[in-house]
Amino acid sequence: MGGGQEINTGEAGISEWIESLNRSFPDWHVHISPRLTDSEYAAGEAMQMLASRPNVFPNESLHLSVSMRSFRAENVSLLVKQLLDLDLKGARGTLDCVREKYPITITRDLQIAKKWLKTQARGTERYGIVVSSQAERLKPHAIDVKSPMDPVHWFLDGKEDVRSSYYLEDVATEFHVQGLELDWSCVSWDADFRYSANGWKHQSFRGSRWERISKAERKIYQKNAYRVLLTRARQGMVIFVPSGSYDDSTRDPSFYDPTFDYLREIGFPVLG
């Protein structure tokens, strides 16, 4: 089972498996990875309960530490984990291991991001734009997460079809792409998930303004949504962070600049 993939109400992840073992199968022998205490598994409390049982056997061999998504992406999941955990030093080190085989760039210009995707892809390699389902202030960039899209056409149709991911018009959210992949992706990063010196700020757009998310469960889902988005590409990705606008209080540059600066500080090369 993967970690950090819970993005919707009712998804409990690996912690629920452990709690079920504690609750319903106290006599079972449990062979388990010792690394489930890592942040993305959100299984700390459940693991503590399991530790009191005499029939639990940690086994390092049960942990798949290297992503098998593609020959290029073996360290990308670790990089994304470090990025989301605000482990700047770790992310820098992992990026050095990733950058030669798996290019990741950042930009403030969506048109430059689209051009980069098209120049990177070869033949029938698929590319597309992915975005958080809470990213409701990307409309000035012609990105509307509420606009209906058909995942079948988006993932399967060719470059001549306006409904396909190739056209870079329709976008897919974390719910559309969970468990699926592209060769190359553009992750469009809105103000719903903002970097700050005190940690990530979690926001939801209601009516005409952003509101702070306070529930811990929703914060986890939102962080995991970006984890899903940032791990959809087999071969490389570009991250688009808008510049915002001083003329629009819902897109103030202060909502976006710290996130872009954080990504640049990690060491991602800037396009444009």
Residue that wins the pLDDT comparison between 19 and 208: 208
Among the listed residues 224, 211, 212, 263, the one whose alpha carbon sits nearest the alpha carbon of residue 104: 263
3-state DSSP call for residue 240?
A: strand
Residue 53 has pLDDT above 70, yes or no: yes
Average pLDDT over residues 196-206: 96
Task: Please state which CATH number belongs to domain 76-271.
Answer: 3.40.50
Residue that wins the pLDDT comparison between 139 and 48: 139
At residue 184's C-alpha, the angle toward residues 182 and 187, to 5°, is: 95
Average pLDDT of the residues of the chain: 88
Q: Say how far apart CA 9 and CA 221 lie, in whole Å.
A: 8
Residue that wins the pLDDT comparison between 52 and 3: 52
Residue 145 has pLDDT above 70, yes or no: yes
Question: Above pLDDT 90, what percent of the chain?
Answer: 68
User: What one-character-per-residue DSSP string does 92-133 give?
Assistant: HHHHHHHTTTS-EEEES-HHHHHHHHHHH--TT--EEEEE-T
Element (H, E) at 90: helix 88-98
Domain assignments of the chain as residue spans, ordered by start: 14-62, 76-271
Q: Say how far apart CA 235 and CA 26 lie, in whole Å.
A: 44
DSSP-derived secondary structure letter, 57 = E
